[in-house]
Amino acid sequence: APKVTGKAGKISFKAIPPNTLDNLIVPNGYDSAVVIRWGDPVVAGAPEFELDKQTAKRQSLQFGYNNDFVGVLPFGNSDERALLVVNHEYTNEELMFPGFTSLDALTVEQIKVAIAAHGLSVVEIERVGRSGQWKPVRKNRLPYNKRITALETKFKLTGPVAGTAAVKTAADPKGQWVIGTLNNCAGGVTPWGTVLSGEENFNQYFVGGDAVAEADKPKLNRYGITTTARYPSGSRKWERAQERFDLAKHPNEANRFGWIVEVDPFDPDAPPRKHTAMGRFKHEGANVIVAKSGHVVAYMGDDERFDYLYKFVSEKKYRPGDRRHNLTLLESGTLYVAQVTGDSAAAEIDGTGKLPSDGAFDGTGKWTKLVSGNKSFVPGMTVADILTYTRLAGDAVKATKMDRPEDVQPSLRTGKIYAAMTNNTNRAVGTNPGVDEANPRSANKHGHIFEITEDKGDHTGESFTWTLPIVCGDPAAADTYFGGYDKTAVSPISCPDNVAFDSAGNLWISTDGNALGTNDGLFATPIEGSERGHLRQFLTVPRGAETCGPFITGDDRSVFVAVQHPGEISGATVDKPVSTWPDGDYAKPSVVVSWRLDGGPIGS
């Protein structure tokens, strides 16, 4: 398992106040810089970005749009060289193409630019001097630098669904290879030095759902694909560039997305893989921990209102140093879904967020087995059914409907697992499911953090306890909770999305969609001891942006964040920008590094 090597300790920075500035703000004593931005060259020899000269070919060599997950993987023990691996979740065409009027008015070449701006980037980076700042290496030969795109990169399907009927298409009659990856949101770095990436809202790229076989329509619907119209509003129009996005012609293509992707950045020739054993849903991401038994366990969220939390336990065991073996660990195993029960009386959970009389939103939980290897545990569903239509399997076993499970990550310090429930404004509204102790607020607009403690510390086990350490929102409001800490001394937080840890185990949380009306940002809090819940705002991002990443380097000296969709505000275009960050002309999604001016550990 990875060593915790940093120097982080007690959090000591002075929180920055909420703001609406079109800038990236860090605390006193810290600095920040853009590492790489949309359009910057990635592959050696790539052209410099020119807004009005963009082509799919150029974009395929340059940094993609809407950076989300960020991983920094050092070369061996080097603290000077590393590979930066970044997801590009989606595109804002209105902020990318001058003269934009509508998606329908885009040229086919512009659609191909958007397709090429999706995927991932691998970029070699180097430390700047002895500081915590990092920058891309610029050389004529960059053997690891790579763009993975939705346009043309081939992915290998692994696991039980590979080769089954549901993933066979005219272009891939054996159901083994998929072109591209879609809507890659959060992710994780594995102990064997690869990156996992979640394919999230892949539904929006498909049209023609009205023309599929009647029996398949409920399956498409459960994944948010419209089956009542040929061209649903809000679709990306990609079928104009690649026919496969039209399900009327290629009904199985959508089944080839919604997986966890594994990328080995240290082997540029290895095809990225989609691991079907980990199930198919709107994967936010996946984070792995090695259990005491040696099995690896991945925790995962399905980001949709009223969807589920999952975990995957590998069939094989982790072997330290045996990278070739470890690369196979996510290809076979057992998939579980969470059922969560509160320990307070239902009548005490009234939807207002008021703590029950035992003083906590807490209780017990069960991991319900859906499939193990080639054995189904869901009556009436085959292994391939369960893994391809995992949401239906979760429905069948009555998994607990959560408030949009986003990033889920175990703390390597304590083994406790933290999941961001970003929000669910439909909770207990109309005919929607009501509140429960794990999702205790009706019309939950600010979200909460869900903490899991596996029984006996066994990540392979089937039972756990849980609690909500933070119920987000305005600390002055009665419906918020900050671990019992003095609420007059904490920062307001809304819509937690991604979580991370420094080496001392402090919890870092980034937000998406601040419903308190100020910019999104990054926060840090101790999560053990008397300061549990003492949350402080570390950073804010520019107007219209969400804060992604975050990633704290193993030496604690740098925190990377992805500034996603700066300037994404209704009515804004590249010609009429609401944000001009970072260069003063028009908005560019960018990865930023922040570091302490005196070289010390971030946050401490």
Q: Give the footprint of ligand FEO on this chain (CB under 6 A).
A: 89, 185, 200, 284, 303, 406, 497
Pairing status of strand 260-263 against strand 305-307: unpaired
- CB nearer Ca ion, residue 358 or residue 585: 358
Site of tokens 């810290």: 30
CB of 541 to Ca ion, least distance (A): 13
Q: Measure Cα distances from 251 to 217, 241, 340, 436 in Å.
A: 10, 17, 35, 38
> Coil, helix or strand for 109?
helix
CB of 310 to ligand FEO, least distance (A): 14
444-461 burial, b at 16+ Cβ within 10 Å, e below that, comes to bbbbbbbbbebeeeebbb
CB of 471 to ligand FEO, least distance (A): 19
302 binds Ca ion (CB under 5 A): no
Q: Measure Cα distances from 23 to 27, 33, 38, 541 in Å.
A: 13, 11, 17, 6
CB of 84 to ligand FEO, least distance (A): 19
Residue type, 537: Q
283-299 burial, b at 16+ Cβ within 10 Å, e below that, comes to bbbbbbbbbeeebbbbb
Beta bridge partners of 119: 88, 149
> Coil, helix or strand for 363?
strand
**CB-CB contact of 253 with 388 (8 Å):** no
- CB nearer Ca ion, residue 169 or residue 564: 564
- CB nearer Ca ion, residue 54 or residue 442: 442
The DSSP string of 211-272 is GS-GGGHHHHHHTT---S-SS-TT---GGGT-GGGBTTT-TTGGGG-S-EEEE-TT-TTSPP
Binding to Ca ion by CB under 5 A, coded x per residue (else -) over 477-516, reads --------------------x--------------x----
3-class DSSP string for 321-355: CCHHHHCCHHHCEEEEEEEEEECCCHHHCCEECCC
Choose the stretch contacting Ca ion; rule: CB under 5 A; options: 177-185, 202-210, 287-295, 592-600.
177-185
- CB nearer ligand FEO, residue 197 or residue 252: 197
- CB nearer ligand FEO, residue 192 or residue 508: 508
Choose from ligand FEO, Ca ion, none: what does 458 bind? Cβ within 5-8 Å by kind: none
- CB nearer ligand FEO, residue 282 or residue 459: 282
**CB-CB contact of 454 with 476 (8 Å):** no
Q: In whole angstroms, how large is the CA radius of gyration of the chain?
A: 22
Residue 428: CB atoms within 10 Å: 17
Residue 112: CB atoms within 10 Å: 24
555 binds Ca ion (CB under 5 A): no
CB of 446 to ligand FEO, least distance (A): 16
Q: Which helix (H) or strand (E) holds 47?
A: none
Among 201, 326, 344, 376, binds Ca ion (CB under 5 A): 344
Among 343, 458, 531, 555, binds Ca ion (CB under 5 A): 343
Choose from Ca ion, ligand FEO, none: what does 200 bind? Cβ within 5-8 Å by kind: ligand FEO
CB of 284 to ligand FEO, least distance (A): 5
- CB nearer ligand FEO, residue 436 or residue 512: 512
> How many residues contact Ca ion, by CB under 5 A?
10
DSSP-derived letter for residue 91 is: -
- CB nearer Ca ion, residue 201 or residue 411: 201
CB of 369 to ligand FEO, least distance (A): 26
Binding to Ca ion by CB under 5 A, coded x per residue (else -) over 21-60, reads ----------------------------------------
Choose from Ca ion, ligand FEO, none: what does 444 bind? Cβ within 5-8 Å by kind: none
CB of 262 to ligand FEO, least distance (A): 18
Token pair, residue 177, equals: 């290879």
Residues of span 182-221 touching Ca ion by CB under 5 A: 185-186
- Smallest Cα–Cα separation from 291: which of 176, 158, 456, 145? 456
The DSSP string of 272-290 is PEEEGGG--S-B---EEEE
Backbone φ and ψ for 53, nearest 5 degrees, come out as -115, 15
CB of 497 to ligand FEO, least distance (A): 6
- CB nearer ligand FEO, residue 41 or residue 279: 279
- CB nearer Ca ion, residue 41 or residue 473: 473
CB of 305 to ligand FEO, least distance (A): 11
Choose from ligand FEO, Ca ion, none: what does 362 bind? Cβ within 5-8 Å by kind: Ca ion
Q: Measure Cα distances from 241 to 59, 112, 168 in Å.
A: 15, 6, 21
- CB nearer Ca ion, residue 279 or residue 363: 363
- Smallest Cα–Cα separation from 252: which of 203, 212, 200? 212
Binding to Ca ion by CB under 5 A, coded x per residue (else -) over 347-366, reads ---------x-x-x-x----
Choose from ligand FEO, Ca ion, none: what does 89 bind? Cβ within 5-8 Å by kind: ligand FEO
CB of 519 to ligand FEO, least distance (A): 17
CB of 221 to ligand FEO, least distance (A): 20
Residue type, 47: P
- CB nearer Ca ion, residue 194 or residue 510: 510
Beta bridge partners of 525: 507
Residue 36: CB atoms within 10 Å: 25
Choose from ligand FEO, Ca ion, none: what does 343 bind? Cβ within 5-8 Å by kind: Ca ion
- CB nearer Ca ion, residue 200 or residue 216: 200
Choose from ligand FEO, Ca ion, none: what does 358 bind? Cβ within 5-8 Å by kind: Ca ion
CB of 421 to ligand FEO, least distance (A): 11
Residue 3: CB atoms within 10 Å: 8
Provide the binding-site residues for Ca ion, judged by CB under 5 A. 185-186, 343-344, 356, 358, 360, 362, 497, 512
